[in-house]
Chains A and B, each alone.
Chain A
Amino acid sequence: MSFAFYLISALTVAGALAAVLLKNLVHCALALTIAFAGLALLFLNLDAQFAGFAQILVYIGAVAILVVFAILLTRGSETPKDGEIFSRTWLAGLAVAAAVFAVLGWAVLGTAPMLPHSSPAPHVTVLQIGNALMSRYVLPLEIVAVLLTAALIGAVMVAMHEKEEKQ
Chain B
Amino acid sequence: MTPLAGFLLVAALLFSIGLAGALTRRNAILVLIGIELMLNAANLNLIAFWRYGPHPEALTGMMFAIFSIAVAAAEAAVGLGLVIAVHRHAHTTDIDLMNRMKG
- Count contacts on A: residues with CB < 8 A to the other chain: 87
Q: Mark A1-44, 1 if CB is under 8 A from B, else 0.
A: 10001000100110011011000010011001001100100110
Residues from chain B with Cβ under 8 Å of A74 in the complex = 29, 83-84, 87, 93
Residues from chain A with Cβ under 8 Å of B80 in the complex = 66-67, 69-70, 155, 159
Within 8 A of B (CB), among A127-167: 128-129, 132-133, 137, 140-141, 144, 147-148, 150-152, 154-156, 158-159, 161-162
Q: Is the CB of B81 within 8 A of A98?
A: no
A26 to B96, CA, bound (A): 21
Residues from chain B with Cβ under 8 Å of A105 in the complex = 9, 12
A12 to B6, CA, bound (A): 13
Q: Is the CB of B36 within 8 A of A32?
A: yes
Assuming the contacts A28-B33, A104-B12, asked whether A48 and B51 have C-beta atoms less than 8 A apart, the reply is: yes
Assuming the contacts A13-B17, A46-B48, A132-B63, asked whether A70 and B74 have C-beta atoms less than 8 A apart, the reply is: no
B70 interface residue per 8 A CB criterion: yes
Q: Is the CB of B33 within 8 A of A59?
A: no
Q: Is the CB of B33 within 8 A of A29?
A: yes
A137 to B47, CA, bound (A): 17
| Among A63, A115, A122, A150, contact of B5 (Cβ-Cβ < 8 Å) | A115
A/B pair count, beta carbons within 8 Å: 255
| Among A25, A35, A104, contact of B30 (Cβ-Cβ < 8 Å) | A25
- Can you give 25 contacting A-B residue pairs, CB < 8 Å? A19-B21, A39-B43, A43-B65, A46-B7, A46-B51, A47-B51, A55-B43, A58-B69, A59-B40, A59-B69, A59-B72, A70-B80, A87-B23, A87-B25, A92-B23, A101-B12, A108-B9, A112-B2, A124-B57, A137-B63, A147-B74, A148-B73, A155-B81, A158-B82, A158-B85
B residues near A (Cβ < 8 Å) are 1-10, 12-27, 29-30, 32-34, 36-37, 40, 43-44, 47-48, 50-54, 56-57, 59, 62-63, 65-67, 69-78, 80-85, 87-89, 93-96
A residues near B (Cβ < 8 Å) are 1, 5, 9, 12-13, 16-17, 19-20, 25, 28-29, 32, 35-36, 39, 42-43, 46-48, 50-51, 54-55, 58-59, 62-63, 66-67, 69-71, 73-76, 80, 84-90, 92-94, 96-98, 100-101, 104-105, 108-109, 112, 115-119, 121-122, 124, 128-129, 132-133, 137, 140-141, 144, 147-148, 150-152, 154-156, 158-159, 161-162
